[in-house]
Amino acid sequence: MTFKTLDDMDLAGKIVLTRVDINVPVEDGRVTDTTRIDRIVPTIRDILAAGGTPVMLAHFGRPKGKVVPEMSLRQVVPALEAALGQSVTFVERPDRDTLAAAKGPVLIENTRFSPMEEANDPQMAQFLASLGDVYCNDAFSAAHRAHASTEGVARLLPACAGRSMQAELTALETALGTPKPPVAALVGGAKVSTKLDLLGNLVTRVQHLIIGGGMANTFLAAQGIDVQKSLCEHDLLDTARDIIAKAEAAGCSILLPRDVVCAAEFRADPPTTVVKAEEVPAGQMILDAGPDSVAHIKTLLDGCATLVWNGPLGAFEMTPFDAATVAAARHAADLTRAGKLISVAGGGDTVAALNHAGVAEDFTYISTAGGAFLEWMEGKTLPGVAALEA
């Protein structure tokens, strides 16, 4: 896809409506994780350096079209100022004159305080467009929503991608749009049902599909393996078989666990056994992929040029069921550092797992977008991205 960036826009003297994602965790009125704020800093600074006035549009929480004081963006201002190293003007009810007179960055109150935001009401889009001269979307994580501040206004002003959005789209295009083959996708997580569209799209786009986590149990059961008490969606066995058949038709190999780590109960550090996938002891459950499975994953990655990762290989939140995820992640990181692998990962559990493995900084790109990342991988059109296409 082609889209304009800040480098393509004349920003001097312009009011730049900048959609950002600063929907950050807050406790007792203080931001506890500034990751999303940190990611928008390059965009805001570049707009300022080009002579523009960045006016930030953002949502916070789910106020459902009503003014909810506890969801005011005012409480985010101190963290925003600390990240930018300068003062930020907070505006509850914006008008053109107020924004034109601003000296430096501006943050407008929660867009979702209006019911017209999530309805993508043309009236709100027109109002927002009247406030600025250029529109910049730097919130990929909100790009799967067709809202007034993500899609409506983008159609009414010269539009471009901010630095974070630009990096995200470039990384995803590298991973799935025009990737360097062979491409492997590692998909884990609890349930097949939440990733049906994802799996169906990936088997036609990648050469190898590694399936882990609880969803792997459903695929094992679909092949006639008794997974005992393991998490398994028995009503989706036919669906799993259909995905396997689709993969075979597309020439995509599917790698399932060959051996597994089992326990009688799901808790930290219980007695465990490592057995072949088809030999799960009676009354036990699969909670991680075994060492032989990890060895095969490593070998497969050694022969790949691109990796897309979404979801853990086991119940990584508890030891020792983090072993497979950590080992595979560290191997992928080693290959990436050596310049042998392009690695792109995303999704909440994935980010947590890679941080747990200590390799988040070593992957080529990690998306914090969650739903938007998944929908992109599912092959869906993201309204906020489509509105930027040149």
- Where exactly are the structural domains of the chain? 6-164, 179-377
Q: What is the mean pLDDT of residues 271-299?
A: 98
Inform me whether the pLDDT recorded for 140 exceeds 90.
yes
Closest C-alpha among 276, 168, 256 to residue 208: 256
Tens digit of pLDDT for each residue in 211-244?
999 999 999 999 999 999 999 999 999 999 999 9
CA dihedral 259→264→268→271, nearest 10 degrees, is -80
* Active-site residue, selected from the candidate residues 65, 104, 370, 371: 371
Inform me whether the pLDDT recorded for 296 exceeds 90.
yes
* Active-site residue, selected from the candidate residues 36, 39, 163, 205: 36
Residue 369: band (very low, low, confident or very high) from pLDDT cuts 50, 70, 90: confident
Residue 390: band (very low, low, confident or very high) from pLDDT cuts 50, 70, 90: low
What is residue 284's predicted lDDT score, i.e. its pLDDT? 98
Tell me the CA distances in angstroms from 275 to 5, 258, 288, 322, one per residue in order: 52, 9, 11, 17
- Binding-site residues for (2R)-3-phosphoglycerate sit at 36, 112, 145
Inform me whether the pLDDT recorded for 86 exceeds 80.
yes
Tens digit of pLDDT for each residue in 309-329?
999 999 999 999 999 999 999
Catalytic site includes residue 45: no
- Binding-site residues sit at 21-23, 36, 59-62, 112, 145, 195, 317, 347-350
Comparing 6-164 with 179-377, is the CATH topology the same? yes
Burial class (CB in 10 A: 0-12, 13-18, 19+), 348: middle
Report the length, in residues, of the chain.
Answer: 390
Joined together, the tokens standing for residue 373 give 């990342």
What is residue 347's predicted lDDT score, i.e. its pLDDT? 82
Task: Give backbone dihedrals phi and psi of 223, rounded to 5 degrees, phi first.
Answer: -100, 15
- Look at strands 26-27 and 53-57 and give their pairing: unpaired
Tell me if 279 sits within 8 A of 273, measured CB to CB. Answer: no
Of residues 175 and 298, the one with the higher pLDDT is: 298
Catalytic site includes residue 13: no
Closest C-alpha among 97, 123, 126, 124 to residue 113: 124
Task: Give backbone dihedrals phi and psi of 19, rounded to 5 degrees, phi first.
Answer: -80, 120
- For domain 6-164, the CATH architecture is 3-Layer(aba) Sandwich (3.40)
* Active-site residue, selected from the candidate residues 348, 370, 379, 380: 348
Inform me whether the pLDDT recorded for 389 exceeds 80.
yes
Q: What is the 3-state secondary structure (H, E, C) of 148-159?
A: HHHHHHHHCCCE
Tens digit of pLDDT for each residue in 327-364?
999 999 999 999 999 999 998 789 899 999 999 999 99
* Active-site residue, selected from the candidate residues 4, 45, 74, 191: 191
For the sheet containing 253-255, what is the strand order?
253-255, 208-211, 183-187, 306-310, 342-346, 365-367
Catalytic site includes residue 370: no
Residue 270 DSSP class: -
- Binding-site residues for substrate sit at 21-23, 36, 59-62, 112, 145
Q: Which fold has domain 179-377?
A: Rossmann fold (3.40.50)
Inform me whether the pLDDT recorded for 1 exceeds 90.
no
CA distance 121 to 125: 6
Catalytic site includes residue 36: yes
What is residue 39's predicted lDDT score, i.e. its pLDDT? 93
pTM: 0.88
